[in-house]
Structure 1
Amino acid sequence: MHITRLLLPAFIALASCGVPSSAGGSGQAVENADQTEAGDPGTQFAVQEMARFDEPWAMAFEPGTGTLFVTEKSGALKFLTADGQRGSVSGVPIVAYGGQGGFGDIAFAPDYAASRAIYLSWAEAGRGNLRGAAVGRGTLSCESDTACTIKDLRVIWRQMPKVSGQGHYSHRLAFAPDGQYLFVASGDRQKMDPAQDPQSTLGKIVRLNLDGTPAAGNPLADENVALPEVWTMGHRNILGLAFDGQGQLWGLEHGPQGGDELNRIKPGKNYGWPVVSNGDHYGGQPIPNHAERPEFAPPAISWNPVIAPGDMLIYSGAQFPGLQGHALIAGLKTQALIDVSLDSDGPVERARYDFGRGLRALAQGPDGSIWVAENGKNARILRLTPR
């Protein structure tokens, strides 16, 4: 049974309330303020529980059907139809489950209506206890309301090199607005220095053709600086990757101890990790901030204390006119849905809504509703509509 309740707007202290100068392109860290600021009237939600899944990591709606597909971190792909039927998908990859690793993102091809192509990312085991992210493409075939299969799934891109450890895979996916390119977030795998190595894909955003080959015109490749797929470098752990309505790509990443970042992703730019950060190393060892090294691209906004983001979408629906063009962020540590307006003068955090549990993934429904997946076992999938 679906459960509906009202979620009152429990606003937490806002970062940089009404201070665009520190929330814009200066790269300065934003400290949480003592005052709160109400969001737009349309940002108070009626919340409906739709289903529960174990460790959901990503969600995406199948174009044309309203069916929601959900990756579970341990390796399953499941779905929820528009009329409430639950089903599972076979033909999924074997994932390296553990730590931060497992099943990752899911995205439907821009030409899905014709191609039935689906893209997945996951943590992949290698030799000698090494691991790395992988991206695969296959075609989706549904035999019934409760069973689908991915056919001809093949890996089209791998994070290289594979390394030890189970953290910072990132592996978020985003298609260019023209549908011609696939962008993949590739985390530093907690190794730090490879983020500045142009011959590694760790700590990078890569731009690929839809078949996984490096796209032509990647600026660092054209300058013979980096591997041919590299678009930007100097990243730590990107868990939000999305285009806005003007075609600007945004990346949202975890900082170390402080310094979570929202970045305007510009081709060929170096975002500085681990040379600079608006946070410190764990244990308190300082890191030079962006203001000290202007050759690195500063964040559009950063948070200290951190928000620990799980995912991000840029809202374009009709149900919440006051949120159109805003970045909505799923907060893990903050246990909140965070609203950030992407104004021309610089992003500004507008509101936080406290859900009382860490949030992992977001999706926009075909009708403009907002879908939220909690983090962890027995996690609720929630549908938000106007109050």
Structure 2
Amino acid sequence: MRLHRNWKYLSVVVFLGTFSTLSAQEPPDVAITPIISGLDTPWGLALLPDGGALITERDGELLYWAEGQTHKVAGVPRVLADGQGGLLDVTLARDFAQTRDVFLTYSKPMDGGSGTALATGRLSADGRRLENLRDLFQMKRGASSGQHFGSRVVEADDGTLFVTIGDRGNRKAAQNPGRHNGSIIRINRDGSVPSDNPFVDQPKVQPETWSFGHRNPQGANLDANGQLWTAEHGARGGDEVNRIKKGANFGWPVISYGRHYSGLKIGEGTEKAGMEQPAHYWDPSIAPSGLIVYQGDMFPDWRGDIFVGSLKFDYISRLDVTSDKAQEVQKIESDETQRVRDLVEATDGSIWFISEGNGIVYRMAKAGS
């Protein structure tokens, strides 16, 4: 293990404390720099083409950061900030440079309590407001539970949107495709349902459903081939990385590698015909959140690897991917990786991440870059 030391930049650069290597590959020299501080329970991060950033705070604030200055963005949706709910993910449209469209997931007040919703709006030129805000999707039914909202939004190469939704604490509902609980949904940019969704012609299934049987997927992203991967909370053990398949059932709560918090067995075991196996699972649970599949040039040896933030053990997990399987090979751990909530790859190949525990957005880059 090597730790970079460059005393000239000591006041602005934070160096990696521990780089635990589970494989034979030696880690590169890495520096971690604090970029945006003073955040209150930050949840989602999007990097703007002009070098700025958008950050969500769970209590309902959307922040715009540029050139060291941060201000609140007006025009965000009203959220029910309860438990794990609030203003959650933020993602830029692929054509943001032309449209300035932004996607937000949040816990929307509705009959029965609240549910996961997806909104879109246009960011003003000065970054101070969202214009023409409107919902593209909301769960069919709300719940009073303040847990398991998901929720990430990812735009696919074809312009459709994937949104991850937790089971909202209703385990059985995750096996009912007539509900949105515990599903990944896919919609068009205008909120309509794509004609090639797997259940679009089945009357008792929600037509937005792409996959189901999920517990609480809080990380999602695409690889270089456009394949969707997710990171998902298990119960006591059984946190998962999943390679998402069209129309697939991922088993919760019928199968799991974890146990209930009471210690009792979950469902029928760890596998069942017709239900998908995880690409990787953690036991004990790490409480995974944001996920990226690295595609940059700054760390060429990492290209194609999955990075997942741990909320419980305060590190970033690097997983090597082979076909449809993944294996944790490194733990990036330091005082800066406190409750890693989200990760984003920048255009220069650096990795920006949210430390919810520190209330700071950091940039992880090759030393000297």
Say whether the fold is shared (TM-score over 0.5).
yes
The residue type paired with residue 149 of structure 1 is R
- Partner of 1:60 in structure 2? 46
Shift of 1:236: 0.4
- Partner of 1:21 in structure 2? none
What is the 5 A alignment of 1:172-183?
Answer: 172-178=152-158, 180-183=159-162
CA RMSD after TM alignment: 1.8
Shift of 1:177: 2.0
1:297 to 262, 270, 276: 276
Q: Distance in 2 between matches of 1:112 and 1:369?
A: 21
The answer to whether the Cα contact below 8 Å between 2:343 and 2:353 also exists between their aligned partners in 1 is yes
Q: Distance in 2 between matches of 1:346 and 1:133?
A: 29
SS of aligned partner of 1:251: strand
- Partner of 1:352 in structure 2? 331
Q: Determine if the alignment matches structure 1 residue 322 to structure 2 residue 301.
A: yes
The C-alpha deviation readout for 1:251-302, integer Å capped at 9, x for no partner, is 1100011100111100010001111111111101102466441221111111
Q: Distance in 2 between matches of 1:345 and 1:161?
A: 33
Q: Determine if the alignment matches structure 1 residue 332 to structure 2 residue 311.
A: yes
Q: Distance in 2 between matches of 1:262 and 1:169?
A: 17
**CA 1:2–1:110: 2 relative to 1, 3 Å:** farther
Q: Distance in 1 between matches of 2:363 and 2:271?
A: 43
- Partner of 1:148 in structure 2? 128
- Gaps in structure 1 of 5+ consecutive residues: 13-35
Report the more deviating stretch, 278-287 or 105-114. Answer: 105-114
Q: Distance in 1 between matches of 2:359 and 2:71?
A: 17
1:381 to 352, 361, 368: 361
| Greater than 3 Å deviation, 4+ residue runs | 36-41, 222-225, 288-292
Q: Determine if the alignment matches structure 1 residue 171 to structure 2 residue 142.
A: no
The C-alpha deviation readout for 1:191-213, integer Å capped at 9, x for no partner, is 11111111101110011001111
Q: Distance in 2 between matches of 1:38 and 1:361?
A: 27
The answer to whether the Cα contact below 8 Å between 1:66 and 1:365 also exists between their aligned partners in 2 is no
The answer to whether the Cα contact below 8 Å between 1:11 and 1:38 also exists between their aligned partners in 2 is no
- Partner of 2:256 in structure 1? 277
**CA 1:229–1:2: 2 relative to 1, 3 Å:** farther
The answer to whether the Cα contact below 8 Å between 1:312 and 1:327 also exists between their aligned partners in 2 is yes
The residue type paired with residue 359 of structure 2 is A
2:181 to 202, 219, 227: 202
**CA 1:317–1:290: 2 relative to 1, 3 Å:** farther
Q: Determine if the alignment matches structure 1 residue 138 to structure 2 residue 121.
A: yes
- Gaps in structure 2 of 5+ consecutive residues: 1-9
Shift of 1:38: 5.1
SS of aligned partner of 2:142: coil
Q: Determine if the alignment matches structure 1 residue 120 to structure 2 residue 94.
A: no
- Partner of 1:28 in structure 2? none
What is the 5 A alignment of 1:137-286?
Answer: 137-143=120-126, 147-178=127-158, 180-224=159-203, 226-286=205-265
The residue type paired with residue 135 of structure 2 is V
The answer to whether the Cα contact below 8 Å between 1:255 and 1:306 also exists between their aligned partners in 2 is yes
Q: Distance in 1 between matches of 2:359 and 2:101?
A: 28
Shift of 1:112: 1.6
The answer to whether the Cα contact below 8 Å between 2:257 and 2:270 also exists between their aligned partners in 1 is no
SS of aligned partner of 1:221: coil
**CA 1:285–1:244: 2 relative to 1, 3 Å:** same
- Partner of 1:77 in structure 2? 62
1:368 to 349, 357, 363: 349
Q: Determine if the alignment matches structure 1 residue 98 to structure 2 residue 44.
A: no
**CA 1:354–1:9: 2 relative to 1, 3 Å:** same
The answer to whether the Cα contact below 8 Å between 2:249 and 2:276 also exists between their aligned partners in 1 is yes
Shift of 1:85: 2.7
- Partner of 2:5 in structure 1? none
The answer to whether the Cα contact below 8 Å between 2:64 and 2:128 also exists between their aligned partners in 1 is no
Q: Distance in 2 between matches of 1:38 and 1:80?
A: 39
SS of aligned partner of 1:11: strand
Q: Determine if the alignment matches structure 1 residue 51 to structure 2 residue 31.
A: no
SS of aligned partner of 1:191: coil
SS of aligned partner of 2:20: coil
Seq. identity, %: 35
- Partner of 1:20 in structure 2? none
The C-alpha deviation readout for 1:97-139, integer Å capped at 9, x for no partner, is 12101111111112222222111111111245x1111111111
Q: Distance in 2 between matches of 1:366 and 1:345?
A: 26
**CA 1:208–1:7: 2 relative to 1, 3 Å:** same
- Partner of 1:10 in structure 2? 19
Q: Distance in 2 between matches of 1:358 and 1:108?
A: 24
